[in-house]
Structure 1
């Protein structure tokens, strides 16, 4: 992910509720913004992340790799 400080603050503050990202495979993923709040830093959010889904395709975890 490479999300600017301004956009990350919108997610952190709840002004934007859904995150849409492109996976390394090219697949578009959409998930609730609450899952990235822990990763917001002074410069936004940068890095590669691993995402885990349950058997119903619900997001259960997101971690920086």
Structure 2
């Protein structure tokens, strides 16, 4: 079995991300392009944080056993 790739849009304002940073919220939940609801630790997208928050189109990679590999921003 090969790794799977899940694509999704993510738009979090800087104020929304601040709640993750402060520990109020720990998980980001999005609806993937294929309709699946996925949740992951907010720290997995921290490197994409700007003064405007986190915005863009992303791809998450999981192993065949559903273990997290990484998230990258597309385009």
Distance in structure 1 (CA, Å) of the matches to 2:56 and 2:45: 12
Of structures 1 and 2, the one with the larger relative CO (CA 8 A, separation 6+) is 2
**If the length of structure 2 is used for normalisation, what is the TM-score?**
0.76
What are structure 2's unaligned runs of at least 5 residues?
A: 1-9
Report runs of 4+ in structure 1 exceeding 3 Å deviation. none
**If the length of structure 1 is used for normalisation, what is the TM-score?**
0.86
More strand by share: 2
Determine the structure 2 residue equivalent to 1:45: 54
Aligned length: 64
What are structure 1's unaligned runs of at least 5 residues?
A: none
Structure of higher CA gyration radius? 2
